[in-house]
Chains A and B, each alone.
Chain A
């Protein structure tokens, strides 16, 4: 790694730690930094501050970092696999597919089995199914734009189905269904962190695919000539990204645009090889979702804005900017 890249990676980690501390401190109840340090060291165990830090804010911060990192790294991998810089788990319908199955689980199957794991499992199933569906439709259409359009269609279908589910669901169910459509980090607790801790493992697994991801950006035939077994490689990437995105959706709902915008920012500033793009996207994605979540807690405090609204409000215009700037060079 060049020293330049090493500096950028170090800066990212420093930002991430610094913002985590800020995020621990700010909120409806301010906690001073010495108090935070004291709590983290195990003092002040029974205080209100301890409860706020350990039970509310710390899991929320970790959840933001894990989920943001997972979505962004998945976005980078999916863009590589589809050779399309505009592919994004939310854009091509994977997230809404996962959300639909999560909502379906809540409304239809009710509450047998452990709710959290059941949710995560059905979201994963939904994410996996939609990824395969989009991939197959895209393959039959023969072009990258066919795949994106398939994603748009599947997105619309999934959202319509979620709408239908909320129409037939009870008041109590309705609220949780709406939660998946918007995305929020509220309700983070340590149980969710246990599930989310799979995400760093997925990111490591994706990083191990870097060389093959680089190869496939040249085209499938070229990748075969560089020794990549396309079939099993594709299955691994789809499985890993669907898993990361679905875990994210099950825990926080659909958080739009992180998966699209972050890999772009990374490529613009740090280069395009996936050895850099995957880990850097994970760091930037974690940082961005953490910043957005802190903002969503602060803007209308003590009320909270669902963070998905914020990421879409920032990401949407950026996406439009990208399209206008591309002038055909984005390959769609």
Chain B
């Protein structure tokens, strides 16, 4: 069981966004894609999750494009950076949207929504109108929607989040990482796009460092988050220290090319 990208390239309007990407996304692991703006992190996430179709992406050795959409949606869930929802849904109705591909009974879905609400501490928001919430609250609800989508088949799920913590306060960031650690422990594969290298280093099993659509380094955070790699990709001079047995960086200055 794994999601593999083999020699994947992706081009839009003759512009190469990804080149020669080889990544294997394993169950039970948390992967993070890091890199500077425009490195192709989001594109990689979208290609891997099937939102953009590209050759060379396989799920359990079957090309991702060959899955029926609803079948795929029962295995692969993905949260994009920003949500476009402009209709005054109630929070629990947004959560229930995650159940659409499953066609399970309403009662069953309501129980799952209830469990996710409890797990994420969304109790206070459940009856609120989505469009009236703050950015962070909306994000927590969207994260909940993704959990609802995979809640009853976590062990075989592939879950993708693009910048999930950008709008979350410190406490809710920790809640989020706690939840994805639980997902991974139960066998799910979790992939994240993160801007914050220290968060990525601390909570990921594997990091994929991208620059200009290519993978520059890949592996355990200790191998990836090094002074040299940071200088090469971000053009930033940084101090690297160990915290929680993981490399932590402090950017010092911008390197002139």
Residues of A within 8 A of B (CB): 80, 83-85, 211-212, 214-215, 217-219, 221-222, 224-229, 267-268, 271-273, 329-331
Contacts and interface: CB of A to CB of B under 8 A. Distances in A.
B72 interface: yes
A330 B51 CA distance: 26
B89 interface: yes
Contact of B131 (A83, A215, A273, A329): A329
Contact of B78 (A83, A225, A267, A330): A225
Given A214-B100, A225-B49, A225-B78, 4 more contacts: A85-B86, A219-B84, A227-B71, A331-B84
B97 A214 contact: yes
B98 to A, nearest CB: 7
Contact of A271 (B73, B86, B93, B101): B93
B97 A218 contact: yes
Centre residue among B69, B70, B86 by max chain A CB count within 10 A:
B86
A227 B84 contact: no
A227 B101 contact: yes
A143 to B, nearest CB: 11
B84 A84 contact: no
Interface of B: 46, 49-51, 69-74, 76-78, 80, 83-90, 93, 97-98, 100-101, 131, 149
Nearest to A274: B87
Q: Is the interface of A mostly helix, strand, loop or mixed?
A: loop
A134 to B, nearest CB: 18
Nearest to B77: A225
B97 A226 contact: yes
B83 A218 contact: yes
Contacts of B131: 329
A218 B85 contact: yes
Nearest to A86: B86
B106 to A, nearest CB: 10
Contacts of A330: 86
Contacts of A211: 100
B28 to A, nearest CB: 22
Given A271-B93, A272-B93, A273-B93, A227 B73 contact: yes
Contact of B84 (A80, A218, A267, A329): A218
Contacts of B80: 219, 221-222
Contacts of B70: 227
B76 to A, nearest CB: 7
Nearest to A221: B51
Centre residue among B69, B87, B97 by max chain A CB count within 10 A:
B87
Nearest to B93: A273
B108 to A, nearest CB: 15
Given A211-B100, A227-B101, A267 B88 contact: yes
B142 to A, nearest CB: 8
B73 A226 contact: yes
Contact of A225 (B73, B83, B86, B88): B73
B51 A224 contact: yes
A226 B51 contact: no
Centre residue among A225, A227, A329, A330 by max chain B CB count within 10 A:
A225
Nearest 9 pairs between A and B by C-beta? A227-B70, A227-B73, A331-B86, A227-B101, A219-B84, A272-B89, A272-B87, A226-B100, A227-B69
Given A214-B100, A217-B89, A222 B69 contact: no
A226 B86 contact: no
Nearest to B51: A221
Centre residue among B76, B84, B98 by max chain A CB count within 10 A:
B84
Contacts of A225: 49-51, 73, 76-78
Contacts of A267: 87-88
A84 B101 CA distance: 24
Nearest to B94: A218
Contacts of A268: 88
A329 B51 CA distance: 27
A267 to B, nearest CB: 6
A212 B115 CA distance: 24
A225 B77 CA distance: 6
A261 to B, nearest CB: 16
Contacts of A271: 88-90, 93
Contacts of B78: 221, 225
A140 B231 CA distance: 40
A85 B86 CA distance: 8
A169 to B, nearest CB: 42
B247 to A, nearest CB: 33
A224 B69 CA distance: 7
Contacts of A226: 73, 97-98, 100-101, 149
B25 to A, nearest CB: 16
